[in-house]
Structure 1
Amino acid sequence: MTPSGGFTAEDLMRLRGLPRHTELIDGNLVPAAPQGKWHSRVINLLVAELDRQAPAGLRADREMTVRLAKRQAPEPDVVVVTAEAYERDEPSTYYVPEDVVLAIEAVSPDSEERDRDTKPRKYAKAGIRYYWRVENDEGRTVVYLYERDPATECFSLTGIHHDQLKTTAPFTIDIDLTSVGKRSA
Protein backbone atom coordinates (compact mmCIF):
# COMPACT_ATOMS: atom_id res chain seq x y z
CA MET A 1 0.00 0.00 0.00
CA THR A 2 1.31 3.42 -0.96
CA PRO A 3 1.70 5.78 2.00
CA SER A 4 -0.14 9.10 1.99
CA GLY A 5 2.01 11.51 -0.05
CA GLY A 6 3.83 8.63 -1.73
CA PHE A 7 7.04 6.78 -1.02
CA THR A 8 10.29 8.60 -0.32
CA ALA A 9 13.84 7.84 -1.41
CA GLU A 10 14.47 6.69 2.18
CA ASP A 11 11.60 4.19 1.82
CA LEU A 12 13.06 2.88 -1.44
CA MET A 13 16.44 2.26 0.18
CA ARG A 14 14.86 0.56 3.19
CA LEU A 15 12.17 -1.62 1.58
CA ARG A 16 13.08 -5.27 1.07
CA GLY A 17 11.65 -7.70 -1.46
CA LEU A 18 11.16 -5.16 -4.25
CA PRO A 19 11.76 -6.33 -7.81
CA ARG A 20 15.27 -5.59 -9.10
CA HIS A 21 15.70 -2.15 -10.65
CA THR A 22 12.62 -0.63 -8.98
CA GLU A 23 12.67 3.16 -9.35
CA LEU A 24 10.95 5.92 -7.44
CA ILE A 25 9.23 8.46 -9.70
CA ASP A 26 6.98 11.13 -8.15
CA GLY A 27 6.64 9.05 -4.98
CA ASN A 28 5.55 5.94 -6.89
CA LEU A 29 7.47 2.68 -7.03
CA VAL A 30 8.04 1.71 -10.67
CA PRO A 31 9.34 -1.84 -11.23
CA ALA A 32 11.29 -2.46 -14.43
CA ALA A 33 9.89 -4.85 -17.00
CA PRO A 34 12.15 -7.62 -18.31
CA GLN A 35 14.58 -6.15 -20.81
CA GLY A 36 15.34 -7.38 -24.31
CA LYS A 37 18.73 -8.37 -25.67
CA TRP A 38 19.32 -5.05 -27.45
CA HIS A 39 18.73 -3.14 -24.21
CA SER A 40 21.26 -5.22 -22.29
CA ARG A 41 23.80 -5.15 -25.10
CA VAL A 42 23.65 -1.40 -25.69
CA ILE A 43 24.16 -0.84 -21.95
CA ASN A 44 27.17 -3.19 -22.00
CA LEU A 45 28.70 -1.31 -24.94
CA LEU A 46 28.14 2.13 -23.42
CA VAL A 47 29.49 1.23 -19.99
CA ALA A 48 32.61 -0.41 -21.47
CA GLU A 49 33.35 2.39 -23.96
CA LEU A 50 32.56 5.29 -21.66
CA ASP A 51 34.65 3.82 -18.86
CA ARG A 52 37.54 3.16 -21.29
CA GLN A 53 37.39 6.64 -22.84
CA ALA A 54 36.66 8.69 -19.70
CA PRO A 55 39.41 10.88 -18.26
CA ALA A 56 41.01 9.78 -14.98
CA GLY A 57 38.52 11.66 -12.79
CA LEU A 58 35.42 9.92 -14.19
CA ARG A 59 33.99 6.38 -14.26
CA ALA A 60 31.01 4.73 -15.95
CA ASP A 61 28.57 2.57 -13.99
CA ARG A 62 25.36 0.74 -14.83
CA GLU A 63 21.88 0.61 -13.33
CA MET A 64 22.54 2.55 -10.12
CA THR A 65 19.90 4.64 -8.39
CA VAL A 66 20.40 8.41 -8.40
CA ARG A 67 18.73 10.04 -5.44
CA LEU A 68 17.48 13.27 -7.01
CA ALA A 69 14.99 14.50 -4.40
CA LYS A 70 12.75 13.32 -1.57
CA ARG A 71 10.35 11.46 -3.90
CA GLN A 72 12.62 11.01 -6.93
CA ALA A 73 15.11 8.13 -7.19
CA PRO A 74 15.33 6.89 -10.77
CA GLU A 75 17.82 4.30 -11.97
CA PRO A 76 19.49 5.38 -15.21
CA ASP A 77 20.72 2.54 -17.39
CA VAL A 78 24.20 4.10 -17.47
CA VAL A 79 25.80 6.93 -15.51
CA VAL A 80 29.16 8.61 -15.72
CA VAL A 81 30.14 9.76 -12.25
CA THR A 82 33.16 11.22 -10.53
CA ALA A 83 35.85 8.66 -9.71
CA GLU A 84 35.53 9.72 -6.06
CA ALA A 85 31.82 8.81 -6.01
CA TYR A 86 32.47 5.55 -7.87
CA GLU A 87 35.12 4.46 -5.37
CA ARG A 88 33.59 5.58 -2.07
CA ASP A 89 32.16 2.92 0.23
CA GLU A 90 29.04 4.77 1.38
CA PRO A 91 26.49 5.29 0.16
CA SER A 92 26.89 2.02 -1.73
CA THR A 93 23.40 1.76 -3.24
CA TYR A 94 22.97 5.14 -4.90
CA TYR A 95 24.58 8.29 -6.25
CA VAL A 96 23.51 11.90 -5.71
CA PRO A 97 23.13 14.46 -8.54
CA GLU A 98 26.45 16.14 -7.71
CA ASP A 99 28.19 12.82 -8.50
CA VAL A 100 26.64 12.48 -11.96
CA VAL A 101 28.19 14.00 -15.08
CA LEU A 102 26.03 12.08 -17.59
CA ALA A 103 22.82 10.05 -17.25
CA ILE A 104 21.78 7.67 -20.03
CA GLU A 105 18.51 5.86 -20.64
CA ALA A 106 18.09 3.05 -23.18
CA VAL A 107 14.44 3.21 -24.18
CA SER A 108 12.33 0.08 -24.07
CA PRO A 109 8.61 -0.20 -24.86
CA ASP A 110 7.57 0.09 -21.20
CA SER A 111 9.85 3.07 -20.48
CA GLU A 112 9.22 5.31 -23.51
CA GLU A 113 7.23 7.99 -21.67
CA ARG A 114 9.57 8.03 -18.65
CA ASP A 115 12.78 8.07 -20.73
CA ARG A 116 11.60 10.66 -23.25
CA ASP A 117 9.84 13.04 -20.87
CA THR A 118 9.66 12.37 -17.14
CA LYS A 119 13.24 11.39 -16.32
CA PRO A 120 14.97 14.04 -18.45
CA ARG A 121 12.93 16.75 -16.70
CA LYS A 122 13.88 15.33 -13.29
CA TYR A 123 17.58 15.01 -14.22
CA ALA A 124 17.71 18.58 -15.54
CA LYS A 125 15.92 20.00 -12.49
CA ALA A 126 18.42 18.18 -10.23
CA GLY A 127 21.31 19.87 -12.09
CA ILE A 128 22.69 16.93 -14.09
CA ARG A 129 24.37 18.59 -17.06
CA TYR A 130 24.25 15.86 -19.75
CA TYR A 131 21.59 13.34 -20.72
CA TRP A 132 21.55 10.79 -23.53
CA ARG A 133 18.53 8.86 -24.74
CA VAL A 134 19.34 5.70 -26.69
CA GLU A 135 16.73 4.11 -28.96
CA ASN A 136 16.47 1.02 -31.12
CA ASP A 137 15.14 2.21 -34.49
CA GLU A 138 14.30 -1.01 -36.34
CA GLY A 139 17.61 -2.61 -35.35
CA ARG A 140 19.69 0.54 -35.66
CA THR A 141 20.97 2.22 -32.48
CA VAL A 142 20.31 5.97 -32.36
CA VAL A 143 21.62 8.24 -29.58
CA TYR A 144 20.05 11.62 -28.79
CA LEU A 145 22.41 13.94 -26.87
CA TYR A 146 21.14 16.68 -24.57
CA GLU A 147 22.81 19.40 -22.53
CA ARG A 148 21.23 21.33 -19.66
CA ASP A 149 20.63 25.01 -20.26
CA PRO A 150 21.33 26.72 -16.92
CA ALA A 151 18.98 29.61 -17.74
CA THR A 152 15.93 27.38 -18.26
CA GLU A 153 17.08 24.35 -16.22
CA CYS A 154 15.91 22.21 -19.15
CA PHE A 155 17.74 19.97 -21.59
CA SER A 156 18.32 21.08 -25.18
CA LEU A 157 19.04 18.62 -27.97
CA THR A 158 22.65 18.96 -29.11
CA GLY A 159 22.91 16.05 -31.54
CA ILE A 160 21.46 12.87 -33.00
CA HIS A 161 23.91 10.08 -33.77
CA HIS A 162 23.44 7.05 -36.03
CA ASP A 163 26.14 4.39 -36.52
CA GLN A 164 28.92 6.49 -34.95
CA LEU A 165 28.70 8.61 -31.81
CA LYS A 166 31.36 11.33 -31.74
CA THR A 167 31.22 14.19 -29.27
CA THR A 168 33.48 16.31 -27.10
CA ALA A 169 31.02 16.79 -24.24
CA PRO A 170 31.21 15.84 -21.43
CA PHE A 171 34.60 14.54 -22.71
CA THR A 172 35.95 13.30 -26.04
CA ILE A 173 33.96 10.20 -26.98
CA ASP A 174 33.96 8.03 -30.12
CA ILE A 175 31.71 4.93 -30.08
CA ASP A 176 30.83 2.65 -32.99
CA LEU A 177 27.09 2.18 -32.49
CA THR A 178 27.01 -0.61 -35.09
CA SER A 179 29.03 -2.76 -32.66
CA VAL A 180 26.14 -3.26 -30.22
CA GLY A 181 26.24 -6.95 -29.30
CA LYS A 182 29.50 -7.67 -31.13
CA ARG A 183 32.66 -8.93 -29.47
CA SER A 184 35.40 -6.35 -29.18
CA ALA A 185 38.60 -7.19 -31.03
Structure 2
Amino acid sequence: MSTARDYGLDEDYEWPRPQEGGWIADDLDELPHLPRRTELIDGSLVFASPQTRFHARTVGLLERALVEQAPDTREVYRNFTVTLNERNRPEPDVVVARAGADTGPKLTRLLPGDVVLAAEVVSEDSVDRDRETKPRKYAAAGIRHFWRVEENDGLPVVYVYELDPATKAYGPVGVFHNRLKLTVPFPIDIDLTAVDRRR
Protein backbone atom coordinates (compact mmCIF):
# COMPACT_ATOMS: atom_id res chain seq x y z
CA MET A 1 0.00 0.00 0.00
CA SER A 2 1.28 3.47 -0.87
CA THR A 3 2.20 5.92 1.85
CA ALA A 4 2.41 9.71 1.89
CA ARG A 5 6.19 9.43 1.53
CA ASP A 6 5.75 7.55 -1.79
CA TYR A 7 4.22 10.77 -3.14
CA GLY A 8 6.90 13.07 -1.73
CA LEU A 9 4.80 14.12 1.27
CA ASP A 10 5.52 14.13 5.00
CA GLU A 11 4.50 10.99 6.90
CA ASP A 12 1.99 13.02 8.94
CA TYR A 13 0.30 14.41 5.82
CA GLU A 14 -3.47 14.40 6.22
CA TRP A 15 -5.15 13.21 3.05
CA PRO A 16 -7.94 15.48 1.78
CA ARG A 17 -11.51 14.35 2.41
CA PRO A 18 -14.13 14.93 -0.29
CA GLN A 19 -17.28 16.96 0.03
CA GLU A 20 -20.56 15.10 -0.14
CA GLY A 21 -20.95 13.74 -3.66
CA GLY A 22 -17.19 13.66 -4.28
CA TRP A 23 -14.67 16.05 -5.71
CA ILE A 24 -15.24 18.21 -8.78
CA ALA A 25 -12.79 19.16 -11.53
CA ASP A 26 -12.05 22.65 -10.17
CA ASP A 27 -11.03 21.16 -6.81
CA LEU A 28 -7.74 19.98 -8.32
CA ASP A 29 -6.65 23.62 -8.57
CA GLU A 30 -7.69 24.45 -5.01
CA LEU A 31 -6.65 21.50 -2.84
CA PRO A 32 -3.27 22.15 -1.17
CA HIS A 33 -0.36 19.71 -1.29
CA LEU A 34 -1.83 17.18 -3.69
CA PRO A 35 0.76 14.73 -5.01
CA ARG A 36 2.02 15.40 -8.51
CA ARG A 37 -0.03 13.66 -11.19
CA THR A 38 -3.31 13.66 -9.28
CA GLU A 39 -6.31 12.87 -11.47
CA LEU A 40 -10.04 13.03 -10.88
CA ILE A 41 -11.97 9.97 -12.02
CA ASP A 42 -15.70 9.74 -11.25
CA GLY A 43 -15.37 12.28 -8.44
CA SER A 44 -12.49 10.44 -6.74
CA LEU A 45 -8.87 11.52 -6.53
CA VAL A 46 -6.44 9.08 -8.12
CA PHE A 47 -2.73 9.31 -7.30
CA ALA A 48 -0.23 7.92 -9.79
CA SER A 49 2.48 5.58 -8.54
CA PRO A 50 6.13 6.40 -9.24
CA GLN A 51 6.94 5.93 -12.92
CA THR A 52 9.01 3.05 -14.20
CA ARG A 53 11.95 3.66 -16.49
CA PHE A 54 9.98 2.24 -19.43
CA HIS A 55 7.06 4.57 -18.72
CA ALA A 56 9.24 7.68 -18.41
CA ARG A 57 11.29 6.91 -21.53
CA THR A 58 8.24 6.02 -23.62
CA VAL A 59 6.42 9.21 -22.66
CA GLY A 60 9.59 11.17 -23.46
CA LEU A 61 9.94 9.48 -26.86
CA LEU A 62 6.34 10.21 -27.83
CA GLU A 63 6.51 13.79 -26.58
CA ARG A 64 9.75 14.59 -28.46
CA ALA A 65 8.56 12.99 -31.69
CA LEU A 66 5.19 14.71 -31.60
CA VAL A 67 6.75 18.11 -30.82
CA GLU A 68 9.05 17.69 -33.84
CA GLN A 69 6.32 16.49 -36.20
CA ALA A 70 3.22 18.44 -35.14
CA PRO A 71 2.15 21.32 -37.38
CA ASP A 72 2.14 24.86 -36.03
CA THR A 73 -1.61 24.56 -35.46
CA ARG A 74 -1.01 21.96 -32.72
CA GLU A 75 0.67 21.98 -29.31
CA VAL A 76 1.99 18.98 -27.37
CA TYR A 77 1.56 18.64 -23.60
CA ARG A 78 3.04 16.09 -21.21
CA ASN A 79 1.09 15.08 -18.09
CA PHE A 80 -1.51 17.81 -18.47
CA THR A 81 -5.08 17.44 -17.26
CA VAL A 82 -8.19 17.52 -19.43
CA THR A 83 -11.51 18.53 -17.85
CA LEU A 84 -13.91 16.08 -19.47
CA ASN A 85 -16.79 17.09 -17.21
CA GLU A 86 -17.38 18.20 -13.61
CA ARG A 87 -16.43 14.79 -12.12
CA ASN A 88 -13.63 13.73 -14.47
CA ARG A 89 -10.29 15.43 -15.00
CA PRO A 90 -7.76 12.79 -16.07
CA GLU A 91 -4.15 13.52 -16.90
CA PRO A 92 -3.08 11.76 -20.11
CA ASP A 93 0.61 11.03 -20.44
CA VAL A 94 0.77 12.95 -23.73
CA VAL A 95 -1.83 15.27 -25.25
CA VAL A 96 -1.95 17.02 -28.60
CA ALA A 97 -4.26 20.02 -28.64
CA ARG A 98 -5.20 22.93 -30.85
CA ALA A 99 -2.59 25.69 -30.66
CA GLY A 100 -3.82 28.52 -28.46
CA ALA A 101 -6.29 26.26 -26.65
CA ASP A 102 -7.98 27.48 -23.47
CA THR A 103 -5.93 26.15 -20.55
CA GLY A 104 -8.21 27.57 -17.86
CA PRO A 105 -7.89 30.43 -15.40
CA LYS A 106 -4.88 28.84 -13.67
CA LEU A 107 -3.37 27.46 -16.91
CA THR A 108 -3.72 23.89 -15.61
CA ARG A 109 -6.18 22.12 -17.89
CA LEU A 110 -7.50 21.66 -21.39
CA LEU A 111 -11.08 21.16 -22.54
CA PRO A 112 -11.93 18.12 -24.66
CA GLY A 113 -13.03 20.21 -27.64
CA ASP A 114 -9.44 21.40 -28.02
CA VAL A 115 -7.83 17.96 -27.65
CA VAL A 116 -6.87 16.17 -30.86
CA LEU A 117 -5.07 13.16 -29.33
CA ALA A 118 -4.77 11.63 -25.86
CA ALA A 119 -2.10 8.98 -25.25
CA GLU A 120 -1.76 6.75 -22.20
CA VAL A 121 1.28 4.60 -21.40
CA VAL A 122 -0.03 1.70 -19.34
CA SER A 123 1.49 1.20 -15.90
CA GLU A 124 1.05 -1.72 -13.55
CA ASP A 125 -1.29 0.31 -11.33
CA SER A 126 -3.27 1.84 -14.21
CA VAL A 127 -4.11 -1.13 -16.44
CA ASP A 128 -7.89 -0.99 -15.95
CA ARG A 129 -8.03 2.80 -16.13
CA ASP A 130 -5.88 2.98 -19.28
CA ARG A 131 -7.52 0.06 -21.08
CA GLU A 132 -11.16 0.64 -20.13
CA THR A 133 -12.10 3.66 -18.03
CA LYS A 134 -10.17 6.46 -19.70
CA PRO A 135 -10.77 5.45 -23.35
CA ARG A 136 -14.49 5.24 -22.69
CA LYS A 137 -14.50 8.69 -21.08
CA TYR A 138 -12.27 10.26 -23.76
CA ALA A 139 -14.58 8.90 -26.47
CA ALA A 140 -17.72 10.13 -24.70
CA ALA A 141 -16.13 13.60 -24.49
CA GLY A 142 -15.47 13.58 -28.24
CA ILE A 143 -11.66 13.28 -28.29
CA ARG A 144 -11.07 11.97 -31.79
CA HIS A 145 -7.78 10.05 -31.43
CA PHE A 146 -6.56 7.80 -28.60
CA TRP A 147 -3.34 5.79 -28.24
CA ARG A 148 -2.78 3.12 -25.62
CA VAL A 149 0.87 2.13 -25.24
CA GLU A 150 1.95 -1.14 -23.65
CA GLU A 151 5.34 -2.74 -23.04
CA ASN A 152 6.42 -5.86 -24.91
CA ASP A 153 9.97 -7.15 -24.34
CA GLY A 154 11.08 -3.67 -23.27
CA LEU A 155 9.67 -1.92 -26.35
CA PRO A 156 6.49 0.13 -26.72
CA VAL A 157 3.57 -1.29 -28.66
CA VAL A 158 1.04 1.36 -29.68
CA TYR A 159 -2.65 0.53 -30.00
CA VAL A 160 -4.25 3.27 -32.10
CA TYR A 161 -7.96 4.14 -31.98
CA GLU A 162 -10.17 6.66 -33.78
CA LEU A 163 -13.55 7.94 -32.67
CA ASP A 164 -16.66 6.81 -34.51
CA PRO A 165 -18.85 9.94 -34.21
CA ALA A 166 -22.05 7.94 -34.70
CA THR A 167 -21.44 5.61 -31.74
CA LYS A 168 -19.19 7.90 -29.64
CA ALA A 169 -16.89 4.90 -29.23
CA TYR A 170 -13.35 4.18 -30.40
CA GLY A 171 -12.70 1.81 -33.27
CA PRO A 172 -9.28 0.18 -33.62
CA VAL A 173 -7.01 1.57 -36.35
CA GLY A 174 -4.02 -0.72 -35.81
CA VAL A 175 -1.37 -2.15 -33.53
CA PHE A 176 2.13 -0.79 -34.14
CA HIS A 177 5.38 -2.55 -33.23
CA ASN A 178 8.82 -1.03 -33.90
CA ARG A 179 7.45 1.85 -35.99
CA LEU A 180 4.36 4.05 -35.63
CA LYS A 181 3.42 5.56 -38.99
CA LEU A 182 0.10 7.41 -39.37
CA THR A 183 -1.50 10.05 -41.57
CA VAL A 184 -3.92 11.33 -38.89
CA PRO A 185 -4.31 13.51 -36.90
CA PHE A 186 -1.27 14.68 -38.94
CA PRO A 187 1.60 12.79 -40.60
CA ILE A 188 3.45 10.91 -37.84
CA ASP A 189 6.47 8.60 -38.10
CA ILE A 190 8.02 7.38 -34.83
CA ASP A 191 10.77 4.79 -34.45
CA LEU A 192 9.53 2.94 -31.36
CA THR A 193 12.81 1.01 -31.06
CA ALA A 194 14.49 4.32 -30.15
CA VAL A 195 12.90 4.28 -26.70
CA ASP A 196 16.23 3.57 -24.98
CA ARG A 197 18.45 5.68 -27.21
CA ARG A 198 20.04 8.66 -25.53
CA ARG A 199 20.29 10.72 -28.74
Whether these two folds match at TM > 0.5 is yes
The answer on 1:65 being equivalent to 2:94 is no
Task: Find the aligned partners of 2:38 and 2:88 in 1 and give their Cα distance.
Answer: 12
The structure whose Rg is larger is: 2
* 2:69 matches 1:53: yes
Report % sequence identity. Answer: 53
Greater CA drift, 155-164 or 89-98: 89-98
SS in structure 1 of the partner of residue 196 of structure 2: coil
The alpha carbon displacement at 1:2 in A equals 2.5
Structure 1 residue matching 2:97: 3-state secondary structure: strand
Q: Give me the CA root mean square deviation.
A: 1.3
Do the aligned residues in 1 keep the contact of 2:130 with 2:148 (CA within 8 Å)? yes
Deviation at 1:56? 1.3
Question: What is the aligned partner in structure 2 of residue 179 from structure 1?
Answer: 194
Could you tell me how far 1:181 is from its partner in structure 2?
Answer: 2.5
Q: What TM-score does the superposition give when structure 2 sets the normalisation length? A: 0.89
Task: Please show how residues 155-166 of structure 1 align to structure 2 within 5 Å.
Answer: 155-166=170-181
Structure 1 partner of 2:167: 152
In the TM superposition, 1:1-185 aligns within 5 A as 1-85=17-101, 90-184=105-199
- Once the two structures are TM-superposed, the CA of residue 90 in structure 1 deviates from its matched residue by 4.2
Structure 2 contact 119–148 (Cα < 8 Å) conserved:
yes
Q: Which amino acid is 2:108 matched to?
A: T
In 2: Cα distance, 1:3 partner to 1:138 partner: 44
The CA distance in 2 between the partners of 1:89 and 1:5, in whole Å, is 24
Partner Cα distance (2:58, 2:75) in 1: 17
CA distance in 2, matches of 1:3, 1:181: 44
Cα distance per residue 1:73-105 (max 9 Å; x no partner): 00000000111128x684411111011100000
Q: Is contact 2:147–2:160 with CA below 8 Å preserved after alignment?
A: yes
Stretches of structure 2 lacking an aligned partner (at least 5 in a row): 1-16
Deviation, structure 1 residue 183: 2.2
Any gaps of 5 or more consecutive residues in structure 1?
Answer: none
Cα shift at 1:25: 0.2
Matched letter for residue 143 of structure 1: V
How far apart are the structure 2 equivalents of 1:135 and 1:35? 14
